[in-house]
Amino acid sequence: MESRWLPLLLGITLMASGKTPAAPAPEDAYLWLEDITGSKSLDWVRAANAVTAKELEGTKEYKALEDDLLAILDSKAKIPYITRSGAHYYNFWKDAAHPRGLWRRTTLEEYRKAEPAWETVLDIDALGKAENQGWVFHGAQFLHPGFRRCLVSLSPGGSDAAVVREFDVETRTFVEGGFSLPLAKSQVSWIDQDTLFVGTDFGKGSMTTSGYPRVAKVWKRGTPLAQAKVVFEGLDTDMEAVAYHDPTPGFERDFLYRKPSFFTGEYYLLATDGTRRKVELPLDAEPSLHREWLTVKLRTAWAVGGRTYAGGSLLAVKFDEFMAGKRDFAVLFEPSATTSLEDATWTKNLLILNVMDDVKNRLTVLTPGTWKAVPLQGAPAMGATSVYAVDDEASDDYFMTTRDFLTPDSFFLGTPGAAPALLKSLPAFFDASGLEVTQHFTPSKDGTRIPYFQVSRKGLKLDGANPTLLDGYGGFEVSSLPYYSGALGRAWLDRGGVFVLANIRGGGEYGPRWHQAALKANRPRAYEDFAAVARDLAARKVTSPKRLGIMGGSNGGLLVGNMLVMYPELLGAVVCQVPLLDMKRYSHLLAGASWMEEYGDPDKPGEWAYLKTFSPYQNVKAGRRYPPTFFMTTTRDDRVHPAHARKMFAKMRDMGYDVRYFENIEGGHGAGADNRQTAHFWALTYTFLERTLR
């Protein structure tokens, strides 16, 4: 619930990308708001925040809601999800006493207890206090096989850009004279105890126009970073170029990886003598290597070895045989009209497939070689299920999480062939006894069948008067799946609101074809789908336009921004969070250049011709009737530039529309750097919706 929208992938530093800025349109009177941390911009932000605070925060009801949401976020009854590294199981935990969090560990035996004993590895609050810095923990990468040393990433305030420092988990100290990188968008990978692959900001020309590493080097311990040896370089216009080491015992290999664009990649096997061999796959395929096996997920059809494999399929072959020229693949999954492959997870000796059938998960276990498939025992028939390996180098055990809109998360430990054992379960944060989840389908403008989930009271009165919140994403082949949210339940469902999650095109609910149906010039299909769901809710008399609110963040912010300007007659309120909105400028702002394969290049006249049709900032007009709208973003968001929300709000406010604005100074591409900021963010959101739609 802390970050309801889905990220656009990776982050960069708090600077504009290296791409030469396009000349702004002369009518863009709000260009100055692109200065992220300039005093004039931040003064403007504080003034806009103050107006919103006066409107939304000045009641007892607001304060009670914020406290309620904070209590949920800080609850000690939350599931402490774990990952295994070596002999220990690690967890990152936030609560009232540790707002920035504790990185801690325990044993599996201890974890099974109702109240496990935890060993603190790194206290982020204490570190921040000692260093006078608002650190946000961004994870750690362990050195195999000892799992004593790791590379810890720390972000100031929540941006994706981070510093990297070598850390010893046994002494619980940063290694004196160890590997250390300054603030940047870095890619690092252990080769051995004294050697790293590293991609970072080495200086002019070392980053792509998207703001990611363009150059990969080998860095030896005890030598200056400037002396690191170049092993791989991409093009300036690539998304990124990196090198990484596969530490699997008995299968240690080094790879070079170049991404020309968001959905394409070239892979090379790097030999010890420095020579490289290309892995000959389609540019848009998604390969994965596990021990001796290469699996390939196809985005588009591939004709090879005398046959054609359908887009959306998963193929397998032994890696060494493939590199020797073999092209006789085993087909592990092939999509149908209603199915797609959501995920494929390796344990040491088995492969677990997570297949969606009309946006419902189905899990099967495959045995390599014969590829015999059997259902995974204990997987639920409804709701969302995710699986990850406990340790894919050591065992076939897996962790499984199940959830739906009304059922709190349950966390299991399993081994294929036996029923999984429940480890932890989330308590109910709201009363779901009178609620139900239903799935519906409605035709879009072109006749395509669009599914959506509805959460509402049993026996809902179909009179068009129910306050309803419609959520969606529709981009980057990311599926919108059922989830359990204490905030949604307490702030909206408990108060009689209806919640709807739409599975529109652009997402991954039906595989690559569903995504590709809304790429570039076809992007409006996603908006037509969302509008079709809104109309169907009104036709079924679940709600009516004046009672319908919509919400979306990131690419979902672009979605609701376009709904605002294209279909205002269908809507009663809009919540637009960390959005893209200025599609003329987006590719020149922070990570925007990396998304041109999704949207198009506004600097090419032919592509701007269609991009401008779904650029809300250019299409908002004076003299129209737009619903009340709330723009929300964060200063530290170094994926989607905060100027998208700033400029759109300023433009609409100056046109006299009913708009308000909130910008969190911290938080990155999420709702907050700590639980209190997150609670504040969502309390503002639901207070606005409650006031507007009742």
Residue boundaries of the structural domains of the chain: 79-182, 340-428, 438-693
> Which residues are catalytic, by number?
554, 669
pLDDT, residue 59, reads: 83
Tens of pLDDT, residue by residue over 525-550, are: 999 999 999 999 999 999 999 999 99
pLDDT, residue 8, reads: 33
What SS3 state is found at 192? strand
Q: Does position 25 have pLDDT exceeding 90, yes or no?
A: no
pLDDT, residue 665, reads: 82
pLDDT band per the 50, 70, 90 thresholds, residue 143: very high
pLDDT, residue 187, reads: 96
Q: What are the phi and psi torsion angles at 599 (to 5°)?
A: -110, -40
What SS3 state is found at 117? coil
Tens of pLDDT, residue by residue over 607-649, are: 999 999 999 999 999 999 999 999 999 998 888 999 999 999 9
Any residues with CB less than 8 A from the CB of 639 and at least 6 apart, and which? 7, 8, 9, 10, 11, 12, 160, 554, 578, 590, 591, 668, 669
pLDDT, residue 261, reads: 94
In what order do the strands lie in the sheet containing 229-233?
187-192, 195-199, 215-220, 229-233
Any residues with CB less than 8 A from the CB of 141 and at least 6 apart, and which? 150, 151, 153, 188, 189, 190
pLDDT, residue 480, reads: 97
Choice among 15-19, 219-223, 293-297 with the minimum mean pLDDT: 15-19
Average pLDDT over residues 52-78: 94
Which spans in 502-642 are helix H? 512-516, 524-539, 555-566, 596-599, 605-611, 616-619
Q: Does position 310 have pLDDT exceeding 80, yes or no?
A: yes
- Rounded CA separation 24/620 (Å): 17
pLDDT, residue 159, reads: 84
Domain 438-693 has CATH 3.40.309.10: no
pLDDT, residue 62, reads: 95
What SS3 state is found at 190? strand
354's tokens = 């997570």
Average pLDDT over residues 293-303: 98
504's tokens = 């529109």
- For all residues of the chain together, what is the average pLDDT? 94
Q: What is the largest CA-CA distance in the chain?
A: 73
271 touches 281 (CB < 8 A) = no
| Tokens 């699997």, residue located | 248
Residue 490 DSSP one-character state: I
E strands of 33-97, at which residues? 83-85, 88-95
| Tokens 């941006």, residue located | 159
Tens of pLDDT, residue by residue over 236-277, are: 999 999 999 999 999 999 999 999 999 999 999 999 999 999
| Tokens 């252990």, residue located | 190
Average pLDDT over residues 11-36: 59
Q: Is the peptide bond before 145 cis (omega within 30 degrees of 0)?
A: yes
C-alpha dihedral (680, 683, 688, 691), degrees to nearest 10: -140
pLDDT, residue 411, reads: 97
In 3D, which of 294, 267, 306, 304 has the Cα closest to residue 283?
267
Average pLDDT over residues 670-685: 89
Beta-bridge mates of residue 135: 156
pTM of the model: 0.92
Q: Does position 65 have pLDDT exceeding 90, yes or no?
A: yes
